[in-house]
Structure 1
Amino acid sequence: MSESTQAWVAAGVRAVIGAHTQAQDAGRTDDVVALYTPDGVLEIPGMDPVQGHEALRAAFKGWAPTLPQLHMVSNTVVSPAAGDEATAVSDVVFFQRGEAGWAPQVAGRYEDTFRRVDGGWLLRRRVTTYQA
């Protein structure tokens, strides 16, 4: 894979991660769901996997922010895979703003798998883990 192809994959994957984060923090459920393949899966500790657009829509609608929030995603490492797939691992810290200001609520990691669809990238699977 050429360097320009690797750069294109990394830029596309990072754009999806950023769009997901901003849409989720703003409560734009439909925008979040549109970033997943139709059979996309979200795995969060302590929950059954959430699969498919309708289930994802219901889940993210239920998680709509009631207070200002920020998912700070960093240290993303993108690995182009063969064909139309790529993976990325990112660290994430979730902050909420309360009466005392912004405070971290949880730190974790995203392990994402992406599929190229119609020239762009979509999430096929997001596995979230939390750091103790």
Structure 2
Amino acid sequence: MSEATQSWVAEGVRAVIGAHAQAQDAGRTDEVVALYTPDGVLEVPGMDPVEGHDGIREAFKGWAPTRPQLHVVTNTVVTSAAEDEATAVSDVVFFLRAEPGWAPQLVGRYDDTFRRVDGTWLLHRRRTTYQA
């Protein structure tokens, strides 16, 4: 794969990751769902895997913010890249805003698989782990 293609893939992957965090923090559930393939899978510790658009929609509706929140996703490394599939690992810190200010709630990692569908990069699988 050419360097230009690798850069293009990495740019697409990072755009999906950023759009996901911003839509989730704003409570825009339908935008989050639209970032997944129709057969997408979400794995979160302590839960059975959530599958498909309907399952992902229900999960994110249940997690809709009730106060300001922020997912800071950083250190994204694209670990494999092809023209139609890619994987990446990112670190994430989740903050909530309370009376004294922003406070970190958890630190974790996303292991993501992406697929390109009709020219658009989408999440196919997100596995979240929490760091102790």
Q: Distance in 1 between matches of 2:105 and 2:127?
A: 19
3-state secondary structure, aligned to 1:47: coil
Deviations for 1:99-127, whole angstroms, at most 9, x for unmatched residues?
A: 11100000000000000111110000000
Give the equivalent residue in structure 1 for 2:13.
Answer: 13
Matched-pair identity in %: 80
Amino acid at match of 2:12: G
Q: Distance in 1 between matches of 2:96 and 2:128?
A: 18
The RMSD of aligned alpha carbons is: 0.8
Provide runs of 4+ in structure 1 moved above 3 Å: 80-83
Q: 1:120 to 1:80 in 2, by over 3 A?
A: farther
Count of residue correspondences: 132
The equivalences for 1:22-37 within 5 A come to: 22-37=22-37
Give the equivalent residue in structure 2 for 1:61.
Answer: 61
Deviations for 1:66-104, whole angstroms, at most 9, x for unmatched residues?
A: 010000000000133345110000000000000111000
Unaligned residue ranges in structure 1 (runs of 5+): none
Amino acid at match of 2:110: Y
Unaligned residue ranges in structure 2 (runs of 5+): none
